[in-house]
Amino acid sequence: MPVIKAQSSHRQLTDAELAAMEELTDLGSLVGDYLDGLAENPDIDPRWLAIARTNLQQGFMAAKRAVAKPAAF
């Protein structure tokens, strides 16, 4: 079986970029916790909550990629 060599598409982030990444991580955790709380409410539509969770996860991922600017696709 051929060995696939890992390539790093990550660059060294500046202090400001690292701070932004940390803040995005913290905000994402807060949003996730809030959604977890909503999920405990029986009046909340679980399908739409799942859609909201997915879209918010994608949004935070996109924001982190905007900061990190990875070279790879």
CA 58 vs CA 37, 43, 55: distances in Å: 20, 25, 5
What are the tens digits of pLDDT across the range 42-58? 999 999 999 999 999 99
**If you average pLDDT over residues 24-37, what whole number do you get?**
98
The yes-or-no verdict on residue 9 having pLDDT over 70 is no
Is 54 within a domain? yes
Give the chain's domain count: 1
Burial class (CB in 10 A: 0-12, 13-18, 19+), 37: exposed
Is 3 within a domain? no
Is 4 within a domain? no
Q: Is the pTM of this model over 0.85?
A: no
Residue 65 has φ and ψ, to the nearest 5°, of -65, -35
Domain span holding position 26: 15-68
Is 45 within a domain? yes
What are the tens digits of pLDDT across the range 15-24? 999 999 999 9
